[in-house]
């Protein structure tokens, strides 16, 4: 009869590090695929809040992230990635943490992300998403849309393969914002906008807001089916 202790000592124990490594790899792969969208979104938010916001002059700019506010049509909520308030306008920032080649046009409903392997992925036109957010902010802050500046920021090493508007960028977000010099807001408008957005952040229950946001998306999809 085989000695269990000898079997463990000679066969199983030496292989334990390999078993642990394989288990860790499969665990990481599972959680990455299960929560990939949330992870990439959180990473993109962190890069902007901890990078761009910290590099902007706090005397001239104030940043807000992950805002939930009523849609301009009144049908539930919309979520805005980032907003930067300044006398040079209110920057409404949509971030996309994508790799690969990006194909799209301002008036196309869907854009395409492609990879060297031949894989493709379609996603909603972020310009259209950003316009909805801009209108929602204009309504909330009671300001004309001309006071706002749209920005679509692709991070993650993607490259544009079609001509896109100048506010769709894949390089330094900080540099882009700092490069805008035309004054759009008076000092009192800057103060009022900052106060309104700070109040919105303070009163938002993000867990409840996310539920309401998802319920609205599901409701609109059902209505279109």
Nearest Cα neighbor of 116 from 94, 101, 102 is: 101
What DSSP letter does each residue of 10-62 carry, written as one string?
A: IIIHHHHHHHHHHHHHHHHHHHHHHSHHHHHHHHHHHHIIIIIHHHS-TTT-E
Q: Given this model, what pLDDT does residue 23 score?
A: 54
Residue by residue, pLDDT tens for the chain (225 residues) are 555 556 556 655 565 565 555 454 444 343 333 434 444 445 445 556 556 788 899 999 999 999 999 999 988 999 999 999 999 999 999 999 888 999 999 999 999 999 877 789 999 999 999 999 999 999 999 999 999 999 999 988 889 999 999 999 998 899 999 999 999 999 999 999 999 999 999 999 999 999 999 999 998 888 887
CB-based burial, 168-190: b 16+ in 10 Å, e otherwise = bbbeebbebbbeeeeebbeeebb
Domains of the chain, residue spans = 1-34, 47-224
Q: What is the pLDDT of residue 29?
A: 44
What is the pLDDT, as a whole number, of residue 12?
A: 58
The pLDDT value given to residue 118: 78
pTM for this prediction: 0.78
């Amino acid at each position: 009869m085989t000695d269990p202790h000898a079997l463990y000592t000679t066969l199983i124990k030496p292989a334990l590090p390999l078993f642990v490594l394989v288990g860790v790899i499969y665990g990481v792969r599972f959680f990455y695929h299960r929560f990939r969208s949330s992870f990439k979104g959180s990473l993109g938010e962190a890069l902007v809040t901890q990078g761009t916001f910290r590099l902007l002059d706090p005397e001239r700019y104030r940043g807000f992230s992950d805002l939930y506010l009523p849609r301009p049509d009144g049908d539930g909520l919309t979520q805005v990635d980032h907003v930067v308030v300044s006398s040079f306008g209110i920057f409404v920032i949509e971030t996309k943490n994508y790799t690969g080649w990006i194909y799209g046009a301002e008036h196309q409903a869907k854009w395409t992300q492609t990879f060297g392997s031949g894989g493709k992925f379609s996603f909603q036109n972020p310009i259209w998403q950003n316009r909805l957010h801009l209108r929602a902010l204009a309504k909330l802050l009671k300001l004309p849309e001309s006071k706002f500046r749209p920005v679509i920021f692709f991070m993650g090493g993607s490259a544009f393969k079609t001509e896109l508007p100048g506010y769709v960028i894949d390089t330094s977000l900080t540099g882009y914002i700092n490069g805008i010099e035309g004054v759009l807001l008076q000092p009192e408008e800057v103060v009022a906008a900052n106060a309104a957005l700070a109040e919105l952040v303070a009163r938002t229950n993000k867990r409840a807001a996310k539920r309401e946001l998802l319920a609205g998306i599901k409701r609109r999809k059902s209505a279109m089916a």
